[in-house]
Amino acid sequence: MSNPPINAISVAEARVRLEELKPLLLNLKQLYTELVSLEKHLADIDSDENLSTLLTARNELTIKEDEMIDLQQVFLENDCVIKNIPTGLIDFVAVRNGKLVWLCFREGESKLEYYHDWDTGFTGRKPIDFH
């Protein structure tokens, strides 16, 4: 399955989509935490002595990975790029003064208020001053 293209959207549309994606962002972060925990658990299993435990853990990991892929697909279908799962950092593409920019949101913020230029990161964020 190929990823859908990410389209530039308006600030207003990004804000609407963000409200729909916020609960999914929390789910994504939880899945990520569970995956990390399962990976650590899997690494600690002695496969020679605990084959059944190893197979169960691998199966659980595969299920969580599939859930995560499905959830990430929802973000892509909403023209949203996941930049950092643990911090809940996501971006939408928009156009400002004829140039592509990232509309930037991090979990814990109340709404979408910042953007940054295409080639700068989170530290280059500025308040949104366009529609």
Residue 98 lies in a domain: yes
Per-residue pLDDT tens for 53-88?
A: 878 888 888 999 999 999 999 999 999 999 999 999
Residue 114 lies in a domain: yes
Residue 2 lies in a domain: no
Rounded CA separation 117/126 (Å): 9
Rounded CA separation 73/114 (Å): 24
Question: Whole-model pTM?
Answer: 0.85
With beta carbons less than 8 A apart as the criterion, state whether 41 and 116 touch: no
pLDDT given for residue 83 in this prediction: 95
Per-residue pLDDT tens for 22-40?
A: 999 999 999 999 999 988 8
Question: What domain count does the chain have?
Answer: 1
Question: What is the chain's percent helix, strand, coil content, to nearest 5?
Answer: 50, 20, 30
- Region 39-48: what's the mean pLDDT? 77
Domain containing 78: what range?
A: 11-118
Name the nearest CA neighbour of 118 among 8, 4, 2: 8
